[in-house]
Structure 1
Amino acid sequence: MELTELLQKFLVVSFTIGFFWKLIRYMWSFVSMEKEPIRVLVTGAAGQIGYAIVPMIARGVMLGPDQPVILHMLDIEPAAEALNGVKMELIDAAFPLLKGVVATTDVVEACKEVNVAVMVGGFPRKEGMERKDVMTKNVSIYKKQASALEQHAAPDCKVLVVANPANTNALILKEFAPSIPEKNITCLTRLDHNRALGQISERLNVHVSDVKNVIIWGNHSSTQYPDVNHAKVTTSSGEKPVRELVADDQWLNTEFITTVQQRGAAIIKARKLSSALSAASSACDHIRNWVLGTPKGTWVSMGVYSDGSYGIERGLIYSFPVTCEKGEWSIVQGLKIDEFSRAKMDATAKELIEEKALAYSCLG
């Protein structure tokens, strides 16, 4: 072979290797490119739920293991020192995904450019207080925070209300943040959803991840309706209906429902404090599925703005079964509703209508 021909082949091979090396480096630059941080607001951040949820967010439990975050933490002036202590601990934990921390008692500073808002702060009902007293306090809190979100949050901000009465607090927030799309304001019933999954897994002695498609209808209160009529369990022989496997309608229609409805009270009785860990975890579940999507064939429960589906009055924040895709939720349609379920769904809707009227009366 002539020297010229060998030289030509060498140049071709060198060019090919060089081309592919550059291509690999170019593609790797996209793979390794860090995402822009997402700003996440947590109100009531010095409280129990706040203290539980901020490390979860910083670790990627809420938005994914490759998503950097900047945490905005808000609390009231008397909690300012405790809030600063939480900030110190976040810094000390050296979370790789945590790109910044804002700890403030100024609602405007807290809301600036946030992409996700987790509204944990609220006024709890205390002994001797009437419902209207609690509602008046929360209307005032959520009116102020809604205005700050309206003016200073990112245009596509997603809001999750955790503080009770969660459904009605979310409704008030929507009232005073009219430019935030109604589909971007939700409340937490995922905690109740997860509790229902847990009860079924315990009853059947199966892993909780093998249970899916329970539903929480209505209000995050003792009138909520945990529904297993469409729930399924993955077994070695395929998916089976929960009712078929439990084979005890009496338990499912009575004790199971009341256990889920009153689980929060049972935890307070047991630990002398409200459920913080499970509430924080379920709030992360709620946002993660909302932003990143639900698995195919699976739905979750979210308190969302009613469009009239299943005969529920439009304009209530009511818990429905939903699927999520590309940052949007959709109510699962076409589910068969029996008479027992209809009565339970209407009862919790009635309570929400009463709460709405009470809240609007407080606005005056």
Structure 2
Amino acid sequence: MSWQQGQIGYALAPMVARGVMLGPDQPIILHLLDIQPAAEVLNAVKMELIDAAFPLLQGVIATTDVVEACMGVNIAIMVGGFPRKEGMERKDVMSKNVEIYKAQASALEKHAVENCKVLVVANPANTNALILKEFAPSIPEKNITCLTRLDHNRALAQISERLDVPVGDVKNVIIWGNHSSTQYPDVNHATVTTGSGEKSVRQLVADDQWLNNEFITTVQQRGAAIIKARKLSSALSAASAACDHVHDWVLGTPKGTWVSMGVYSDGSYGIQPGLIYSFPVTCEKGEWSIVKGLKIEEFSRKKMDATAKELMDEKSFAYSCLK
């Protein structure tokens, strides 16, 4: 397994080594990548991982060489990139990350295992994943995904707090579209397990004004709120969501439950093919499948189309940076 180091990487490493991502019986070899100025810090992280004596951890390769980092990996978590800072526009971040992802994609293409699974976390995650695919053409489309599980988890948590129920009792929210402020957190198909069975979130909240406005805005803006409060972007929650994403992708989702993943659109729900767009998915035997046939009313349609338009604009901008 390989990823770039940094804030999220530091939070993620012990979670993976402890078996949170791939289960309690899966031995792990970690490949940690960082830039040359951070080499000393990276080596210190390796020392900490060794000192923690994780039973599943079979080895740690800490390197500033992207080829060494990608050599033979079967899961790559791309958490590195130029960080978004307070006041920065997404396009500022995107232009800096295009070249980073072009280089890292080439290394994965040449040196990772043939069926390597890739999760892109660094923002703009959907578009970074598109760039990665462009320069790693032999990696199957279905093996390149981006993280919207963080937004999915945020939506679950907001409903849990509103209804004062355990977050584990809430399921099947959906994040449609981009991991950005245009994403659409949708509760129209979400349910809560109660003593008398499953009930719809909309029925239990009984406040469409809140669900159609404040709830959506809170989830959309949560990352910005954390940057404002912490002066750094989300790390702990992003690392946890990355574990959730890969865990469910590899080991499967519970029956009757779906999760949100940024995946290649196949035209489902009228979303243009070729975009990496967040859909509700189920996972089985290491493969994800988009949940089909959900009813989409007019309010949702407009929100879904708006975030798709942003992704098309981002794609055009990113590809212009490659010229």
Q: CA–CA distance in 2 between the matches of 1:84 and 1:49?
A: 16
Q: CA–CA distance in 2 between the matches of 1:340 and 1:361?
A: 32
Q: Secondary structure at the match of 2:17?
A: helix
Q: Secondary structure at the match of 1:160?
A: strand
Q: Residue 289 of structure 1 corresponds to which residue in structure 2?
A: 248
Matching residue's letter, 1:227: D
1:41 matches 2:2: yes
Check 1:332–1:272 CA distance in 2 against 1; reply closer, same or farther (3 A cut): same
Among residues 102, 106, 111, which one is paired with 2:70 in the alignment? 111
Q: Secondary structure at the match of 1:234?
A: strand
Contact between 2:93 and 2:124, CA under 8 Å: does it hold in 1? no
Q: CA–CA distance in 1 between the matches of 2:14 and 2:239?
A: 10
Q: Secondary structure at the match of 2:193?
A: strand
Give the alignment's Cα RMSD to 1 decimal. Answer: 1.1
| Gap runs ≥5 in structure 2 | none
> Deviation string for 1:226-274 (max 9, x for gaps)?
0000000000000000000000000000000000000111112222222
Contact between 1:135 and 1:362, CA under 8 Å: does it hold in 2? no
Q: Residue 13 of structure 2 corresponds to which residue in structure 1?
A: 54
Check 1:274–1:133 CA distance in 2 against 1; reply closer, same or farther (3 A cut): closer
Q: Residue 278 of structure 2 corresponds to which residue in structure 1?
A: 319
Q: Give the deviation of 1:124 after TM superposition.
A: 2.2
Q: Give the deviation of 1:42 after TM superposition.
A: 1.2
Contact between 2:86 and 2:227, CA under 8 Å: does it hold in 1? no
Contact between 2:81 and 2:97, CA under 8 Å: does it hold in 1? yes
Matching residue's letter, 1:204: L
Contact between 2:258 and 2:282, CA under 8 Å: does it hold in 1? yes
1:273 matches 2:232: yes
Q: Residue 196 of structure 2 corresponds to which residue in structure 1?
A: 237
TM-score normalized with structure 2 length: 0.98
Pairs within 5 Å for 1:1-364: 40-43=1-4, 45=5, 47-126=6-85, 131-364=90-323
| Gap runs ≥5 in structure 1 | 1-39
> Deviation string for 1:293-330 (max 9, x for gaps)?
00000000000000000000000000000000000000
Matching residue's letter, 1:42: W
Q: Give the deviation of 1:48 after TM superposition.
A: 1.0
Q: CA–CA distance in 2 between the matches of 1:118 and 1:276?
A: 14
Say which structure, 1 or 2, has more relative contact order (CA 8 Å, 6+ apart).
2
What's the % identity of the aligned pairs?
85
Q: Residue 4 of structure 1 corresponds to which residue in structure 2?
A: none
Matching residue's letter, 1:160: L
TM-score normalized with structure 1 length: 0.87
> Deviation string for 1:51-83 (max 9, x for gaps)?
000000000000000100000000111111110
Q: Give the deviation of 1:220 after TM superposition.
A: 0.1
Contact between 2:130 and 2:276, CA under 8 Å: does it hold in 1? yes
Q: Give the deviation of 1:131 after TM superposition.
A: 5.0
Matching residue's letter, 1:329: W
Contact between 1:132 and 1:362, CA under 8 Å: does it hold in 2? no
Q: Give the deviation of 1:50 after TM superposition.
A: 0.6
